[in-house]
Chain A
């Protein structure tokens, strides 16, 4: 009898457990996350245009897959308040005018943290804390817990004022990218140490790796801005010598002894410059590299002048896609070659720093609209069907949504790697499943012409060394990554002198490599750098972010 009652109870509970989620689900339907407005509302936004943006079927910035989807699902008319080119200063200038007049569109995407902060301090921005609590879907809310650093940049006294680019910057470290065909032609192995790297560069320079009988190649690709840009810089090279550097600002961090310090002034840098100088003298680097910029550098990649280059995780998206499209050349990422006696360190941006800070004007009558758009984006792109992913994310379409979320690669990558190792994509959903299809499609040749597939493949493939994401995860596990401490808040001295300090870094490094200055000038550079505002910045950071 007792047993029977227990069984009955169990059965009841089981039944209920089947039904209850359904109830909860219906309850959720009635929630506000994606509820369309009864009357159509209009939301204007500032559009940072970009040369890489692609349009299909006559779409425009005014009328495109996202504006139609948002209208259909949420009954919001998305309108362009103004658009300007974000690859030049146009967009930033336009935003400055907006700041001066205070006449903001409903949704503003700030291009720099400085601009966002000015707008926030002026009270131009809506406090989103309340609408976030009420309207954000549980999946969207998870992002705030996952990326506390990112959200820290847009949170004032616990109140949310906008959305950062939600992602973990761990993958922005440097890798050594090498052409497959040259390695094969010379029967060479990818280098594991700096000495091997130099030796390979020598062979790439003098042993005619492209087998055209002409001495027209260089070992290591490098450009004139050796410390500031992304493509072909000293970033990964110096990383081997325990010098974390990252584009624009360089990296401030607390070293092993707990002292606040700066990447480019580390003693290991001197050794790195010595080797680079010797490589230059020997002709392993283009004698005219100082005159190269990112785009002329990319031309060298496309026409097969260089075989090896330090670059970031997205190499197969840009610029190695050019040589792939032109000649079918595969270029792969490898972990940076190491230097004996040095512990490698690589710099990444603070997670507070992203590409845009998306905010809502204080005058907007529907601040929740932005949250709803993000709910929609999260559902369609992160958990949607493959067709959705193709339509709304691929080919740069995601940029057309007034607000978007970065693909959380650090979560997807291990899943995809496991699936690739197991040989089956079952169990993968949403973005991860798409990525898996791209990688396998590229490997078996069915997607060989798809640039999205080659791009994804370079980041995700698992085969011997693995794509850039696998390497980045290894860097992370080994503790080689340091986050820049200098983030959304900067001292006045840095704001004022940073371009002078950056010039010092650039000119000193280039001058030493080409032989305009002695190697020992490095010591003088360190002194000058500290005196010209570097020390003051270090002290400010030391006080602001005390050692734990």
Chain B
């Protein structure tokens, strides 16, 4: 009796499982296969010798990495920049989605939504050129500031301002796209709840506080905990295309540092060690955030 049911299920799902095989093979080859490359982190790797004949040097690469004179400053920069990118990257889209939701005209709402999506589809290589122009000393933003009698700001050359330029431009680029998921969550809220609230005498603001926000809380919590894993990703494309030595002190992040380290003298091992360190931290954070997501938002994958 207990045997029969799974058997039928298996039969029914066989064709689906077969369809999964190509994807599975691809994942094994290109994801798991290339993961073997992490052995480089424990070797003195030379491309000519390959994985099998490069000498093993244990944890030396990690030791070297953490004795680099500026490594702690760089880790601090990374966490600082990505923390604010994450926080603002959640608050801004949520607020935007709520506001957009209040717009009555469907056509206007669609137009706004499309407009704010657009930057998401531009690569940082292009945007960096535009920003460098806009934010320079003679750029339109500084010209506006000076014409109003304010001091011009070195958005890309002042060490104190640079991280914020990175954070705000990143939020600007991403908030439109990020709001999609919240808009979807908003449409999922039962309209009856609003009617009930209105009957109870709640105005728009009270409805937002007591119906809309609780309705999307689980989505917000979920997005927050999932983004925790990115705490060591400061956004390579953006910073690499916009930074200069003058802002290294506050703007250099792990990824850009590793890039310079690896490219300069083909230091594959050291770069891999840094990458592995990042992955290890991310892995721990993913586990923690998964537990948190389960606890607070009832979210489970497995």
* Residues in chain A within 8 A of chain B (CB atoms): 89, 92, 96-97, 99-100, 102, 112, 114-115, 118-119, 121-122, 124, 224-226, 286-288, 290-291, 293, 296, 490, 494-500, 502-504, 506-507, 510-511, 514, 516, 528, 531-532
Contacts and interface: CB of A to CB of B under 8 A. Distances in A.
Contact of A290 (B48, B70, B245, B261): B245
11 contacts: A96-B266, A100-B50, A112-B266, A288-B154, A290-B247, A291-B156, A490-B265, A496-B267, A500-B69, A516-B246, A532-B68
B157 A290 contact: yes
B244 interface: yes
A286 B137 CA distance: 9
Overall SS of chain A's interface: helix
A121, A499, A502 — most chain B CB neighbours (10 Å): A499
Given A96-B47, A499-B260, A514-B246, A528 B137 contact: no
Interface string B52-72: 000000000000100011100
B295 interface: no
B245 A503 contact: yes
B5 interface: no
Contacts of A118: 46-48
A118 B156 CA distance: 40
A125 to B, nearest CB: 11
B219 interface: no
A119 B245 contact: no
Contacts of B159: 516
B249 interface: yes
A465 B244 CA distance: 36
B157 A291 contact: yes
A288 B157 contact: yes
Given A288-B138, A293-B244, 17 more contacts: A92-B266, A114-B266, A118-B46, A119-B48, A124-B48, A225-B244, A225-B245, A286-B137, A290-B247, A291-B136, A496-B267, A510-B246, A511-B246, A514-B157, A514-B246, A516-B159, A532-B69
B246 A507 contact: yes
A509 B156 CA distance: 18
User: Which 9 residue pairs of A and B lie closest in terms of their CB atoms, listed nearest first?
Assistant: A290-B246, A506-B245, A99-B47, A499-B264, A122-B48, A224-B244, A118-B48, A288-B137, A510-B246
A114 B264 CA distance: 11
A329 B75 CA distance: 48
Interface residues of B, number: 32
B29 interface: no
Given A224-B245, A511-B246, A503 B70 contact: yes
B232 interface: no
Given A118-B46, A119-B48, A499 B265 contact: yes
B7 interface: no
A214 to B, nearest CB: 12
Interface in B121-157: 132, 136-138, 154, 156-157
Contacts of A499: 260-261, 264-265
B293 to A, nearest CB: 38
Nearest to B138: A288
A258 to B, nearest CB: 29
A89 B244 CA distance: 19
Given A89-B263, A503-B260, A532-B69, A291 B48 contact: no
A334 B159 CA distance: 36
B145 to A, nearest CB: 14
A287 B138 CA distance: 10
A96 B48 CA distance: 8
B270 interface: yes
B248 interface: yes
B49 interface: yes
